[in-house]
Amino acid sequence: MANLADENKFFADVCKNFDSAAQFTNHPEGLLNQIKACNSVYRFQFPIRRGNGFEVIDAWRVEHSHHMSPTKGGIRYSEMVNEDEVMALAALMTYKCAIVNVPFGGAKGGIKINTKQYSVAELETITRRYTTELIKKNFIGPGIDVPAPDYGSGEREMSWIADTYMTMNPGQLDALGCVTGKPIALHGIRGRKEATGRGVAYAVRECVDVAEDMAKIGLKAGLGDKRVIVQGLGNVGYHSAKFLSEFGATIVGLCEYEGAIYNPNGLNVDEVFAHRKNTGSILGFPGAQDFKNSMEGLEQDCDIIVPAALENQFTEHNIRNIKAKIIAEGANGPTTPEAEAIFTEMGGIIIPDMYCNAGGVTVSYFEWLKNLSHVAFGRMENRYAANSNANLIATLENLTGKTILPEHRLMIVKGASEMELVNSGLEDTMIHSYHEIRETRMNKPATQTLRTAAFVNSIDKIAVSYMNLGVWP
């Protein structure tokens, strides 16, 4: 049985990080307490029929902050989920949205089940019943609270939620905006599935491109010579590894719950993924060293570690064994405050979760905008831009007497697709937000870490929102 003290530590850790940053702001204590507190915590239970009997399911939805509407956050399907975890994740969503300038308050949901123990029909029943409970209490809607995928959930579950909401709200024009992470067929957005992992890769790239910061930790600028270990081969971990590899890094280690593999010469992520699909395990991959203990895989030689699994992976008990100079938090809360303090003393840099994994909510914001506007990005201007560029090329060829090669013409003429626009918006967001955080850290040296600087930025933005709303004098 899980230790109750451990179960109720995650939200306290988030609050501890908040308090560490709050001392570098000038806001009154009462306002800081309002920002820190969870505004609404809805815990409920509902029965489902299983076989000849019934089973009672525990579930939660937490809306941490209403300084912006709607609130936004994923739904976690896990037998490990508990109220403290959902509160902590909701709080992180508030700060995350503020950091990347996405106009949402933070929220999170949880359903306490092991998805592998239920049939697809049972999972659908659970998801639809969960959605119905949220509707009854006004905890979901395009202008109220907008869920998204999280650990254990994906496009399938989001489509069930959207369908349930539309069924119970007939004629609501913006009903599809009640949830993001939907399939394209249900007006989801291209690039959403890989958005969090792509955002992690952008975050790491921005960090290592600052030569001044890399020199302080004994590394060269750029991703070209960086060795990376990724924990988790789920959606976030897989795409983080994939895009970091495309950006020039070498993936030397991959860790999963069944163990870890390591090859100093590099691993092909797609080949490892295929191997695991065929064998049920990453272990035994040709040319790689196996570790039965996943944590042992994280302790191998590398420059960057991307924890993309669950919280509390690095604690004061194991952080000194980590050889990486940079931890890029693809998961929420993988490093405890005590571990971060030690790692900082060791001269390492942590790219904090509240910024590093914000790619998902950023692209969810784009999807929400798409649902409210009822038109796909690029649909109105794509063909016009292509025709205009083609006319420009033709004019230049007539004036110069020179012909542009077909492959070059194609690159110049084409209009931007929805995927390209989404990725461009995500990249711009991650670049701008990183340097905003770094600037705060440089201007306030006492903040010491990127996490504290990120909290300072988010607290300042949220405080302004409360004051502009007239909630605070």
373 is an annotated ligand-binding site residue: no
Q: Which two tokens stand for residue 319?
A: 């952080």
SS3 state of residue 41? strand
For residue 149, which of 360, 423, 358 has the smallest C-alpha distance?
360
Distance CA(252)–CA(298), nearest Å, equals 11
Backbone phi, then psi, for 451, in 5-degree steps? -65, -45
Question: Of the listed 9, 36, 108, 325, which one is catalytic?
Answer: 108
The sheet carrying 289-291 orders its strands as 289-291, 259-262, 250-256, 227-231, 304-307, 326-328, 349-351
* Sequence-separated (6 or more) residues with CB below 8 Å from residue 72: 93, 97, 102, 104, 105, 106, 107, 145, 146, 148, 180, 361, 364, 365
Clarify whether 193 is annotated catalytic. Answer: no
72 is an annotated ligand-binding site residue: yes
Residue type present at position 4: L
Q: Give 57's strand partners.
A: 46
Residue type present at position 91: A
Reduced 3-state DSSP string for 251-280: EEEEEECCEEEECCCCCCHHHHHHHHHHHC
**Contact in structure between 145 and 61 (CB atoms under 8 Å):** yes
**Contact in structure between 310 and 331 (CB atoms under 8 Å):** yes
The residue assigned the tokens 């690039």 is 191
220 is an annotated ligand-binding site residue: no
The residue assigned the tokens 């910061």 is 213
364 is an annotated ligand-binding site residue: yes
For residue 231, which of 149, 314, 154 has the smallest C-alpha distance?
314
Phi-psi domain of 248 (left: phi exceeds 0; alpha: psi -120 through 50; beta: other): left
Q: Which two tokens stand for residue 206?
A: 């921005």
SS3 state of residue 224? coil
Q: How is residue 307 annotated by DSSP?
A: E
For residue 328, which of 317, 345, 318, 313 has the smallest C-alpha distance?
313
Where does 100-234 have alpha helices with state H?
120-136, 155-168, 195-208, 211-216
The residue assigned the tokens 């509707």 is 135
Report the number of secondary-structure helices (H) and strands (E) in the chain: 18, 12
312 is an annotated ligand-binding site residue: no
Give the active site residues: 108
Binding annotation for NAD(+): 196, 235
Binding annotation: 72, 96, 196, 235, 364
